[in-house]
Structure 1
Amino acid sequence: MSASAIGGSANGSVDGGGPAQAGGPARADARRNRERILHAARELVREPGELKLNAVAKACGIGQGTLYRHFPTREGLLAEVYRREVDDLVTAAPSLLAAHPPLTALAAWFDRVAAYARVKRDVFAAVEAATWRDLAAHSLGPIGEAVELLLAAGRSAGTIRADAEAGDVIVLIGWLTRLNDAELDARGPRLLSILIDGLRASRP
């Protein structure tokens, strides 16, 4: 799923600039600012209390006007943080399969799922119910496709059990979002290791 452009200006520019944004250094600078904003928001949403846009701007070292041109609302910024996390998770699946055997690729992908679970938990706790329901509905398909890609490769290789289904895996990894940071650090790797063992094809 591609990350949506949230917070475009009235003239339709994603980065909120005028004609100077058409290309060149100004455009590149706008992209860098957008990335810095998303990175800072991803880190700050984990802290106690409500995420403040002025705190994000301060963490990025940019003016509040620049931040508002990219993301006029806190809700829009957090939604984009989550969408970016989903994008990264989904695109990791084919990359891992290109570099590793299917079962190893699935285990490495599960390591990324733990980081995704933290972001999902924190973002969903910080946005309105209607927003997180919409985000969840639109992310389920792409994540399911990534899981199925990994499972199908393992089934073809004979290393993942033939009856493994993407929906079952999504239900099981969904429990990670219910854990706090300490529990994720202590139990997350073990739980995912157990899941990998359960998906492993039985030896004849």
Structure 2
Amino acid sequence: MDALWTALIAAGAAVMASATTGWFTSQAARTQARLSREAQLAQLRHAQTEQRHQQRRAAYAEFAKAAGVLHSRVGDMVAVAGDPDAFALLLDEARAERAVLLSAMHVAFLEGPADVGAAVRDLYETVNGFWSAARRFHEAVCSGDPARAEEHRELMTGCRVAARRSRDAFVAAVQRAMAS
């Protein structure tokens, strides 16, 4: 009988050891699965954040490029303000570039945040103001009135300077937004 009890106790201990090992193994597997899932979710969140960052960066860069191109084209228009044919040609090109700027402005504005949106709007308005001032300067130069032409040159120069300041403010706002 002692052998039977010894065998029963040994069998019971083996079953108990097997059950305990199985329980700890299943707990370890669950923990490992949870940690793996959390790591995958963290990687997904990081990838989404990085994609969003790149999307914003591209929108801001496209807007800055469009603003720079139009600003440069308006500078070209100013250089030929007394030549109606050359001015008209550059004006047509500037109109197309202005449309690109408007489209890029909408995208950059939507990317936010609020301070970047305000800088986007300000840069658009100052570059657009420079464009309008250059057109008025051309009209004044073509009118043959030197005093009027000089008055509009000063106004246009002020608009050009304001556009450059707005560009710098836009870049600063973007740098702050991209750093956070």
What TM-score, normalized by structure 2, do the two folds share? 0.40
What TM-score, normalized by structure 1, do the two folds share? 0.36
Q: Which one has the largest radius of gyration?
A: 2
